[in-house]
């Protein structure tokens, strides 16, 4: 897997394989156990507040059990399915020790920040040992996250927000990709492939990680003499193929100087591919996307898509749950902050290696 150079060390393919090996061992050791359960938590509460760098007293547990709440995306979002798969695999060890992991998510992305804040408070009301949450919209979420930290509950920020968010809210650590650097790598790739005017299609405008991605695209393109602008669409359009296709098609027909498109997720990438075909711009407009799916990889393999930027969501879920569990159980905490899972750029040169992981549900 090709590695993108960023300001911080990245998690590469070798580490991913070690993790998958560890998952296999855990699966054998806990075959009959489930990784996710619902309902009220057991009343296990961490007794010490964790600082952003993990310093301070080791969190205590009642009855030697932990109750971890993971806040994520929609149940039918394929990206979040991969995160949950990783979290569920890590949760097998939690279950084997008598603890549990509960996953919570919004019904849609129309009101993402406030909904995520409510889910954080819902988790807090269940007396958890730890809360794992992306910091998508800081203006809406930070107060709820800080409330959990103030009550002595360790909070791990993952997927969105970065180490800055973890430090700002008093979280233990950030686990995930660097969205700005991921976008920057995509912008550079477009420009080096000849694109001069790139359109970043954002169907969750205002979300910190998506805004960072589009900004990264613009800055990466600018560094190579190209330009990029954003096409913000109502978040109700996220995953709506017809609405997104028509919006992108309209943008292409209105501005024939656009020669590259990038979308913030795999569902929108399929819509973008359809829009490019309908606008009769297949030979002119290059396509890229964040995250992976089989259709993205098939297009890359066929030469119809330039790249996909992988943040390895399986690792985000696996690392977040397992690190929280080890911290709660033994006070063990990796020193790296952030603990990065990407970005990794998938192109025609390395697409074959990524296809197997997608088919297994971990890419």
Dihedral sign, Cα of residue 240, residue 241, residue 246, residue 247:
positive
pLDDT at 279 over 90: yes
Q: How many CB atoms lie within 10 A of CB 189?
A: 24
pLDDT at 269 over 70: yes
Rounded mean pLDDT of 131-135? 98
pLDDT at 358 over 80: no
Q: How far apart are CA 210 and CA 203, in angstroms?
A: 9
Angle at 103 between CA 98 and CA 106, to 5 degrees: 165
Dihedral sign, Cα of residue 319, residue 325, residue 331, residue 332:
negative
pLDDT at 62 over 50: no
pLDDT at 263 over 70: yes
For residue 360, name the pLDDT band (cuts at 50, 70, 90).
confident
Q: Which of 73, 140, 72, 63 is nearest to 100 (CA)?
A: 63
Residue with more model confidence, 30 or 74:
74
Q: What does pLDDT average to over the chain?
A: 84
Residue with more model confidence, 293 or 146:
146
| Peptide linkage before 182 cis (omega within 30 of 0) | no
**Residue 173, phi then psi, degrees to nearest 5:** -165, 160
Q: How far apart are CA 319 and CA 20, in angstroms?
A: 11
pLDDT at 42 over 80: no
């Amino acid at each position: 897997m090709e590695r993108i150079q960023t300001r911080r060390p990245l998690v590469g393919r070798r580490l991913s394989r070690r993790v998958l090996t560890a998952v296999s061992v855990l699966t054998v050791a806990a075959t009959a156990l489930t990784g996710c359960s619902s309902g009220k938590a057991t009343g296990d509460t961490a007794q010490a507040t964790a600082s952003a760098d993990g310093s301070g007293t080791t969190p205590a547990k009642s009855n030697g059990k932990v109750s971890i709440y993971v806040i994520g995306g929609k149940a039918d979002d394929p990206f979040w399915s991969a995160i949950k798969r990783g979290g569920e695999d890590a949760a097998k060890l939690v279950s084997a020790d008598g603890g549990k992991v509960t996953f919570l998510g919004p019904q849609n992305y129309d009101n993402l920040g406030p909904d995520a804040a409510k889910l954080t408070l819902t988790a807090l009301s269940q007396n958890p040992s730890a809360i794992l949450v992306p910091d998508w919209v800081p203006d809406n979420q930070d107060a709820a996250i800080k409330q959990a930290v103030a009550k002595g509950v360790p909070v791990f920020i993952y997927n969105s927000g970065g180490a800055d968010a973890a430090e700002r809210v008093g979280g233990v650590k950030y686990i995930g990709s660097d969205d700005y650097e991921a976008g920057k790598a995509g912008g550079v790739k477009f420009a080096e492939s000849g694109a001069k005017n790139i359109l970043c299609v954002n169907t969750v405008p205002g979300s910190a990680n998506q805004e960072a991605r589009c900004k990264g695209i613009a800055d990466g393109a600018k560094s190579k003499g190209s330009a990029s602008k954003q096409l913000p669409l109502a978040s109700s359009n996220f995953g709506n193929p017809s609405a997104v296709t028509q919006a992108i098609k309209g943008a292409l027909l209105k501005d024939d100087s656009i020669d590259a498109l990038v979308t913030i997720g795999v569902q929108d990438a399929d819509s973008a591919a359809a829009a490019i075909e309908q606008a009769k711009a297949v030979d002119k407009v290059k396509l890229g996307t964040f995250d992976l799916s089989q259709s993205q990889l098939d297009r890359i393999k066929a030469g119809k898509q330039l790249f996909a930027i992988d943040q390895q969501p399986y690792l985000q879920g696996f690392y977040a749950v397992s690190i929280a569990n080890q911290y709660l159980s033994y006070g063990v905490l990796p020193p790296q902050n952030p603990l990065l899972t990407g970005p990794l750029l998938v192109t025609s040169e390395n697409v074959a290696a990524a296809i197997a992981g997608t088919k297994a549900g971990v890419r």
